[in-house]
A = this chain, B = another copy of it.
Amino acid sequence: MIVVMRSDATENDITRVSERIKELGFKPHLSRGIERTVIGAIGREFPELQGMLEVLHGVEDVFPILKPYKLASRDFQPANTAITVGEVTLGSGQLVVIAGPCAVETEQQVLETARAVKAAGASILRGGAYKPSTSPYHFRGLGKEALEFLAQARAETGLPFITEVLAPGDVDLISRYTDILQVGARNMQNFVLLEEVGRTRIPVMLKRGMSATIEEWLLSAEYILSQGNREVMLCERGIRTFEKYTRNTMDVSAIPIIKKLSHLPVIADPSHGTGKWYLVTPMALAAVAAGADGLMIEVHPRPDHALKDGAQSLTFDNFEQLMSQVTDVAASVGRRLVTRPVAKLASQIA
């Protein structure tokens, strides 16, 4: 910690801060500048320290020197974490596409979509069984029945799937079905849930909270990692800003920043990141160009009949076009899609 003293701090103030630093087990290190005295607290920082020093008399500001997360940091683990799910490996240089409906509605809808996204080159299926909703009167998901439909789609197509878990009490049940547990944006700081998924040995995708800083996001990943589950991937899904045209503002820069600060894979979700289907493809391309390890895309057989998020869902045709463009941009930055798209198949099925 670095303690900056006020310009009117007395010698007495400086002495008391130094004493308190010693009392807390640190070595004080004084540096007298022209207008301010600065005191370093040398030792292994702990999180409560900053608040304890800030309130001392004569103190103007206290800066931590160390990043508050450890297991999630590239300092701790320089090599990328690679997470294998089915036949693909996230974080390995491959580009992985996850696609499917926002919410599972019917068996038919899931199966049809699974076939179409597989044909277009996706390698993981998504589908919501338990849906968060801002309103208690919205559709909340089919629950266990939806898990069964997803499992059927996996059995038929071979695609592993990801689905969201909303509550600590659901982790056990959902873990028996899913290949990846998703923690949603609204639960990024649901610390009890983070620890619960941390105790499983199933890969976890942690979405960024809608007003979370990157540091807080990595601290939430740290919660999962610190329980022993090292297979954590991060998903940028847009942050809240003053802009009213889009549902969220997708922070593409989070992708290279995470790559610099952490070893964990990063996925981009341009569907939630924008809220408008016609922005999904350009933002998917941007994310790939910026270095994303994967994409998560909402696809629905008939977006105008979707129970959730129709406005941001792609039709099968639009998804097929996205995949074709993504393949080209990925190649231009030295990445390749794991699964080759099966040309033209998707639209025939649809």
Contacts and interface: CB of A to CB of B under 8 A. Distances in A.
Interface of A: 2, 4, 7-8, 20, 29, 31-36, 38, 40, 42-44, 46-48, 50-52, 54-56, 63, 65-66, 68-69, 75, 132-139, 166-169, 186-187, 189-193, 195, 210-211, 213-216, 219-220, 222-223, 226, 239-246, 249-253, 255-257, 260, 273-274, 277-279, 282-283, 285-291, 303-311, 313, 325, 328-329, 331-333
Contact of A260 (B32, B256, B278, B288): B278
A291 B281 CA distance: 11
Contacts of A44: 34-35
Contacts of A43: 33-34
A9 to B, nearest CB: 12
B214 A252 contact: no
Given A38-B40, A52-B310, A186-B191, 13 more contacts: A32-B42, A36-B65, A36-B66, A47-B137, A47-B138, A55-B277, A55-B303, A134-B219, A136-B222, A211-B211, A256-B279, A286-B289, A286-B290
A332 to B, nearest CB: 4
8 contacts: A8-B75, A51-B308, A55-B277, A68-B134, A134-B219, A134-B220, A242-B242, A257-B279
Task: Name the residue among A40, A46, A222, A252 with the largest chain B CB count within 10 angstroms.
Answer: A252
Contact of A211 (B48, B195, B240, B291): B240
A7 B76 CA distance: 10
A213 B253 contact: no
A290 B239 CA distance: 18
Contacts of A219: 134-136
Nearest to A220: B134
Contact of A42 (B33, B56, B256): B33
A274 B48 CA distance: 18
- Quick one: copies of this chain in the complex? 4
Contacts of A38: 2, 40, 65
A75 B216 contact: no
Nearest to A302: B55
Contacts of A303: 55
Nearest to A330: B332
Contacts of A191: 132-133, 136, 166, 186
Contacts of A274: 253
**Pairs A-B, 5 closest by C-beta atoms:** A211-B211, A332-B332, A289-B289, A285-B289, A286-B286
A303 B69 CA distance: 26
Task: Name the residue among A20, A43, A245, A331 with the largest chain B CB count within 10 angstroms.
Answer: A245
A220 B331 CA distance: 39
B243 A132 contact: no
B34 A135 contact: no
Nearest to A76: B7
